[in-house]
Amino acid sequence: MNSLKGKTVFITGASRGIGLAIGLRAARDGANIVVAAKSAVANPKLPGTIHTAAAEIEAAGGRALALQCDIRDEGEVRTAVASAVEHFGGIDILVNNASAIWLRGAADTPMKRYDLVHQVNARGTFLCSQACLPHLQKAANPHILMLSPPLDMSRKWFAPHVAYTMAKYGMSMCVLGMAEEFRSLGIAVNALWPRTVIATDALNMIPGVSRENARKPEIVADAAHAILTSPSRERTGGFLIDEEVLAHCGITDLSSYAVVPGQALLPDLFLD
């Protein structure tokens, strides 16, 4: 299978960035995309809403359902999942893309920020996976994909931003547990992470980082597409890197993904 035509893909945080790019890639196959995100009203400092994303997805050839949803709220998540199932008839794929970033040390992390990154990243991922599970069990080739890093317990990844690292690793630990728990159900659970920094609005949270030194979100979207079209019973529990996935597909020339061709790339978090 190399197409997501007719599949229903529930994507958290899909109003912009990597989540939207994954939705657009699936839309080109003719997939149904559930745009589940908080942004329903335009913000001049943060472009993109669930409605603009839905319009882009439909223009790309997919069907879209825009659902305002804060994944910290259990009621909102379960209502969004129910609405998606009612609208499209089921859920084939869950992409846990929504994330909160906070790159500060322990002394500079207010508990409000600590709670935010854990509630969105680790708890939100767990909740969305749990809510979608009954519907994924009915799908022909079900996948859950986390946008989270490989689990590396090196001190260097914790010291600069321990709260954030713990929260992102919480997403990855869901991969470890759920991949094995859901293996007999035929539901693939994998993590995907970029080799280098990706040009999204999250870069505004990283001082001194320029978009010119990053790759476009489409590289992650193309890698996600390759994973989500693979047989779910054959690939699960993996911690996959975007360019390695593409290399496995025979794509080794990544120049088209560079924001500025030939520019030196910045390494990403949690990768050497």
* Alpha-carbon distances, residue 140 vs 11, 127, 180, 192 (angstroms): 18, 22, 19, 22
Phi/psi class of residue 35: alpha, beta or left (left: φ > 0; alpha: ψ in -120 to 50)?
Answer: beta
- Residue 1's pLDDT is 64
Model pLDDT for residues 215-265, shown as the tens digit of each residue: 999 999 999 999 999 999 999 999 999 999 999 999 999 999 999 888 888
- For residue range 181-200, list pLDDT tens digits in order: 999 999 999 999 999 999 98
pLDDT at 10: 98
pLDDT at 37: 96
> Which of residues 263 and 57 earns the better pLDDT score?
57
Query: Half-sphere exposure (CA, 13 Å, Cβ side) for 166?
Result: 16
- Residue 44 pLDDT class (50, 70, 90 cuts): confident
Q: Residue 211's pLDDT is what?
A: 80
Task: Spell out the alpha helix ranges (H) of 89-152.
Answer: 111-117, 124-136
Query: Looking at residue 97, what is its pLDDT?
Result: 98
CA angle 136, 20, 124 (to 5 degrees): 50
- State mean pLDDT over 126-148: 98
Average pLDDT, the chain: 95
Residue 71: pLDDT above 90? Answer: yes
pLDDT higher at 17 or 204: 17
Q: What is the mean pLDDT of residues 104-124?
A: 98
pLDDT over threshold 80, residue 203: no
**Can you read off the two tokens belonging to residue 34?**
């559930």
Residues 6+ apart with CB under 8 A from 213: 197, 259, 260, 263, 264, 265, 266
- CA nearest to 166, candidates 102, 108, 110: 102
Q: Confidence class of residue 144 from pLDDT cuts 50, 70 and 90?
A: very high
* β-strand partners of 64: 33
In sequence order, what are the residues at sequence separation of 6 or more whose Cβ sits closer than 8 angstroms to the Cβ of residue 199?
A: 211, 214, 215, 216, 217, 259
The whole-angstrom separation of Cα 95 and Cα 8 is: 11
Assess whether pLDDT exceeds 80 at residue 205.
Answer: no
Positions annotated as catalytic residues are 164
Confidence of residue 43 (pLDDT cuts 50, 70, 90): confident
Please state the rounded mean pLDDT for residues 5-30: 98
Averaged pLDDT for residues 71-82 = 98
